[in-house]
């Protein structure tokens, strides 16, 4: 099938590469000329395991093309995906200006019947706005061309996006007629041999499903962090409590790991957007608002532990920060807890040595104008420091050389923002150890 993808960001590029890998002819368009030039040269602007090779392979096979001309992406295709950004507005709502601009461009440039798919994460009712925008553009052309708008939210985990797309837990599609639904089933057939994984529904329910899924996962994270904070106050150990509740099949172990808060491009933005959607419809989502508040507070938990150990004045002290991205497996710094920690240390007069296997360049952008010393490896980062704070649980931090650490650090203090180490492991090497949810 010939497929158009408008937007070559994280979602668009992954979708384009994976559809092309299954033999479809895909053309991906973006207004950023430098980005398209780099992609044509095989230079992928994001870090995501496996994406670069897929892009290179499918360009060589001729199944994946890149352009800045939206008309090229619309010619002869049956289906076109809108996969542009929906940044968070000042009021927490999703900003649809890019989505609606693309819709207008589609209306101005389309030359035959199209199925237009909202792949971007958009509020409930966006499909109606997209339909209205395209129709207005067609009317101004005095065109009687037809089109259908479909919702197909993405459920990709950064760091595992290729696998998620190729072997999805589910493919959710919202459509208003059987023809559009059948076309989407055909497109996704190679990814859903088990047809139970293709879930068809009405458009508004599909739009809502994305927000409900992310809100549920964010709720589990904030819940376990709330439990961790209670554990610290009452003298319980959240690591043991987690095992106790996770063994219940109704609860499970996924997303109940205590830590320093969630970040990234999805959970923070989508939780706030869902609050805005609910309040805009006249309902106050008390639980979801609490989820956001707990997470916002949790991002300060590591700095609070530093202050409890070293005092509020950190002048003359240097601290190592291990891990900068919001999670391992990505270079994404959006809403990363490391940002809160580093800014707080610097504001208190301290200095920061920072190391991340992949996110250093992104960190320099998000922490620009701040005096952060970026290091080339984890041991360089801890030289002459008072403590090391583990923020992101990259694999290379799991089994460090503790004896080497003792030689390099001024004090043997480890603050673990992801509860990665066992107390036995730490005590064996004589480190003073602070965890989340353990007094």
The tokens describing 284, both together, are: 């106050």
Q: What is the DSSP letter of 157?
A: P
Question: What does the CA dihedral 178, 179, 180, 183 come to, rounded to 10 degrees?
Answer: 120
The residue from 18, 260, 266, 375 that is catalytic is: 266
- For residues 53 and 104, what is the distance between their CA atoms, to the nearest angstrom? 33
**CA angle centred on 254, ends 336 and 342, rounded to 5°:** 15
CB 206 within 8 A of CB 233: no
CB 388 within 8 A of CB 414: yes
Q: Is there a catalytic annotation at residue 28?
A: no
CB 15 within 8 A of CB 184: no
Q: How many residues does the chain have?
A: 439
> Could you write out the DSSP letters of every residue in 425-438?
HHHHTT-EEE-TTB
Task: State how beta strands 64-67 and 147-151 pair.
Answer: unpaired
Q: How far is CA 73 from the centre of its chain?
A: 26
* Plot region of 229 (φ>0 → left; ψ -120 to 50 → alpha; else → beta): alpha
Beta bridge partners of 148: 115
3 state SS of 318? strand
Side-chain-side CA neighbours of residue 18 (13 Å): 23
CB 39 within 8 A of CB 8: yes
Catalytic residue positions?
A: 266
């Amino acid at each position: 099938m010939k497929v158009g993808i408008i937007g070559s960001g994280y979602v668009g590029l992954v979708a384009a590469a994976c559809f092309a890998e299954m033999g479809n002819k895909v053309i991906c368009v973006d207004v950023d000329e430098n980005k398209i030039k780099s992609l044509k040269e095989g230079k992928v602007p994001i870090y995501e395991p496996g994406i670069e090779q897929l892009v290179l392979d499918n360009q060589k096979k001729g199944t994946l093309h890149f352009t800045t001309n939206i008309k090229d992406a619309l010619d002869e295709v049956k289906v076109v995906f809108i996969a542009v950004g929906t940044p968070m507005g000042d009021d927490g709502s999703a900003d649809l200006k890019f989505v609606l601009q693309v819709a207008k461009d589609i209306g101005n440039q389309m030359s035959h019947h199209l199925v237009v798919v909202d792949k971007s994460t958009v509020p409930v009712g966006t499909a109606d706005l997209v339909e209205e925008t395209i129709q207005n553009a067609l009317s101004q052309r005095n065109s009687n061309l037809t089109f259908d708008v479909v919702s197909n939210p993405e459920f990709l985990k950064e760091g595992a996006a290729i696998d998620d797309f190729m072997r999805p837990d589910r493919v959710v599609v919202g459509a208003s007629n059987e023809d559009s639904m059948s076309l989407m089933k055909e497109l996704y057939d190679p990814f859903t041999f088990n047809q139970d994984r293709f879930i068809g529904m009405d458009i508004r329910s599909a739009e809502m499903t994305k927000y409900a899924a992310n809100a549920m996962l964010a709720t589990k994270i904030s819940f376990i962090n709330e439990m961790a904070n209670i554990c610290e106050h009452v003298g319980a150990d959240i690591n043991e409590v987690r095992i106790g509740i996770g063994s219940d099949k109704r609860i499970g172990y996924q997303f109940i790991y205590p830590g320093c808060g969630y970040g990234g491009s999805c959970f923070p933005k989508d939780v706030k957007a869902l609050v805005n959607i609910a309040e805009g419809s006249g309902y106050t989502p008390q639980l979801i608002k609490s989820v956001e508040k707990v997470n916002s507070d949790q991002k300060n938990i590591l700095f609070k532990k530093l202050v409890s150990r070293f005092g509020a004045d950190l002048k003359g002290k240097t601290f190592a920060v291990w891990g900068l991205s919001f999670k391992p497996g990505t270079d994404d710094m959006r809403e990363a807890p490391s940002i809160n920690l580093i800014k707080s240390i610097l504001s208190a007069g301290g200095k920061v040595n920072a190391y991340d296997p992949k996110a250093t360049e992104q960190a320099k952008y998000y922490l620009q104008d701040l005096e952060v010393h970026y290091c080339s490896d984890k041991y360089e980062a801890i030289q002459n420091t008072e403590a090391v704070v583990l923020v992101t649980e990259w694999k290379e931090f799991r089994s460090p050389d503790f004896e080497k650490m003792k030689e390099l650090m001024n004090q043997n203090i480890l603050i673990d923002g992801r509860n990665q180490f066992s107390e036995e492991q730490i005590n064996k090497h004589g480190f003073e150890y602070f965890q989340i949810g353990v007094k």
